[in-house]
């Protein structure tokens, strides 16, 4: 068996943090729909539009849940079928048997890629419908503004506050962008360093054919090889990534709070006309819905790329190691291959567990989070309406992007 010398591919990574990001975006989506639905209850046309989009999103979450279950099932199949099959083929020196298992695995992965691609397209279509809904709400807002004949001093003061908030939000967004650029540079530095380290160890080259090149995989290379300066380099980069991640989360939390504050200020912009204020708030809510759906879509696009990368790696593994009549007679090489399979099993068990958590999140969202649609907002008394609005706003304020601790960052970069 020829020595495997595949390089670390640096164009994609799949982090366990996707579960928390998915949870945050999905939960915010339902709450933002709820707020819009309550705000537009006095306008039947807009209430109907919001209801339609909320129901479509609920169904979309249900379909996303099904896709994630496919990921759970395929991860389990890799652990219970592919890897034991590869071990058997290596131990019995039967490359054709390994090829059979790898080709069967390819059909599973192709099925997932098609399913994820379909759901990504559906998110794109849903976002287009939400954008059309936003346009309808804005049109109603403009018509209401035409009927508005005067502005109070208080309204002008609030308008100034809104302008300042928008400016602060813009600066915050630029700060997040700068952190993301720096983060990418650091990740690239880690990956380049890992490539250089991996060339020094034969078993690491084999492992790179079995496990996607995630941050945790890259650190497994560092753990497999000890060399002067490697530990210090790994520690320094982990600390810097931890700091960048912490700073990014703080800025994301600040952005979320500023958006909530912006909503409240925009409600005050028309204290003499509650209808106008509610329409303005609903525009903000729906734009945030659009953003949340886009974030979930990005996660699913990453999921598709992940499986495409897995498919490519397994195909390369087949062509490099199992196309000959015999595998290898070298005892050490066989043991290294078997050890790499054991590490891969740990990775795929963890990945399957993360997909199961994500599936559970979307299950809750598709079943329970849209029960507010069962009650027409126009049927609520003013007191009850205000109580519900404040309750939802409180929940929205409590949702934060979770800030990983330094220990969590280190664990992510050291464990398979």
What is the spatial distance between Cα 58 and Cα 325, in angstroms, rounded to a whole number? Answer: 52
Tokens (6 digits) for 31? 């709450």
CA atoms within 13 A on the CB side of 193: 25
pLDDT of residue 241: 67
- CATH class as words, domain 18-412: mainly alpha
Token pair 């099993």 is found at: 345
Which of 356, 366, 258 lies closest to 27, judged by CA? 366
Tokens (6 digits) for 52? 């339609």
Contacts of 60 (CB under 8 A, 6+ apart): 119, 122, 123, 126
CA atoms within 13 A on the CB side of 11: 5
pLDDT of residue 8: 30
Q: pLDDT (tens digit, 9 = 90+) per residue, 106-151?
A: 999 999 999 999 999 999 999 999 999 999 888 877 776 666 555 5
What is the spatial distance between Cα 331 and Cα 244, in angstroms, rounded to a whole number? Answer: 45
> In this structure, are residues 24 and 363 in contact, taking their beta carbons and an 8 Å threshold?
no
Mean pLDDT by 10 residues, the chain (416 residues): 34 59 90 88 83 93 93 94 90 87 93 95 95 88 66 66 80 83 75 59 54 57 51 65 76 77 68 60 85 92 91 86 67 81 88 90 87 83 82 85 41 32
Q: Does the model's pTM come out above 0.75?
A: no
Q: pLDDT (tens digit, 9 = 90+) per residue, 338-379?
A: 888 888 888 899 889 999 999 998 888 888 889 888 888 778
Label residue 357 exposed, middle or buried (CB < 10 Å: 0-12, 13-18, 19+): middle
What is the spatial distance between Cα 387 and Cα 397, in angstroms, rounded to a whole number? Answer: 15
> Distance from CA of residue 47 to its chain's centroid?
30
Which of 9, 63, 415 lies closest to 212, judged by CA? 9
Residue ranges of the domains in the chain? 18-412
pLDDT of residue 7: 26
What is the spatial distance between Cα 36 and Cα 41, in angstroms, rounded to a whole number? Answer: 9
Q: CA 152 → CA 26, 92, 192, 279, distances in Å?
A: 38, 85, 60, 19
pLDDT of residue 334: 80
> In this structure, are residues 310 and 208 in contact, taking their beta carbons and an 8 Å threshold?
no
What is the spatial distance between Cα 235 and Cα 39, in angstroms, rounded to a whole number? Answer: 50
> In this structure, are residues 311 and 106 in contact, taking their beta carbons and an 8 Å threshold?
yes
């Amino acid at each position: 068996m020829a020595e495997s010398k595949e390089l670390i591919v640096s164009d994609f990574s799949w982090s366990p943090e996707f579960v928390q990001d998915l949870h945050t975006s999905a939960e915010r989506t339902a709450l933002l729909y709820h707020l819009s639905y309550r705000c537009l209850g006095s306008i039947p046309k807009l209430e109907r539009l919001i209801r339609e989009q909320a129901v479509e999103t609920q169904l979309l979450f249900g379909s996303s849940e099904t896709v994630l279950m496919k990921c759970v099932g395929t991860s389990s199949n890799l652990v219970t079928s592919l890897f034991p099959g590869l071990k058997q083929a290596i131990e019995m020196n039967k490359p054709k048997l390994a090829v059979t298992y790898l080709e069967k695995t390819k059909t599973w992965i192709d099925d997932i890629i098609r399913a994820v691609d379909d759901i990504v397209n559906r998110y794109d279509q849903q976002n287009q419908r939400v954008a059309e809904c936003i346009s309808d709400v804005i049109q109603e807002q403009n018509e209401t503004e035409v009927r508005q004949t005067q502005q109070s001093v208080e309204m002008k003061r609030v308008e100034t506050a809104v302008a300042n908030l928008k400016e602060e939000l813009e600066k915050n967004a630029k700060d997040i962008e700068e952190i993301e650029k720096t983060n990418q540079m650091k990740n690239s530095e880690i990956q380049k360093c890992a490539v250089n380290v991996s060339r020094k160890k034969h078993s690491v080259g084999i492992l790179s054919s079995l496990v996607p090149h995630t941050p945790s995989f890259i650190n497994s290379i560092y753990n497999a090889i000890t060399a002067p300066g490697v530990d210090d380099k790994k520690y320094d980069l982990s600390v810097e990534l931890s700091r960048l991640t912490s700073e990014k989360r703080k800025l994301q939390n600040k952005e979320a709070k500023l958006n909530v504050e912006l909503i409240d200020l925009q409600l005050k912009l028309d204290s003499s006309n509650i209808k106008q204020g509610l329409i303005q708030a609903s525009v903000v809510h729906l734009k945030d819905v659009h953003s949340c759906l886009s974030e979930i879509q990005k996660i699913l696009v990453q999921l598709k790329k992940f499986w495409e990368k897995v498919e490519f790696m397994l195909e390369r593994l087949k062509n490099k190691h199992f196309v000959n009549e015999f595998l290898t007679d070298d005892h050490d090489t066989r043991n290294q291959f078997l050890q790499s399979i054991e590490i891969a099993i740990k990775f795929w068990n963890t990945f399957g567990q993360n997909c199961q958590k994500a599936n559970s999140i979307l299950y809750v969202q598709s079943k329970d989070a849209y029960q507010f649609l069962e009650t027409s907002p126009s049927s609520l008394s003013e007191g009850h309406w205000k109580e519900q609005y404040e309750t939802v706003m409180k929940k929205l304020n409590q949702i934060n992007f979770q800030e990983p601790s330094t220990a969590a960052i280190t664990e992510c970069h050291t464990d398979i």
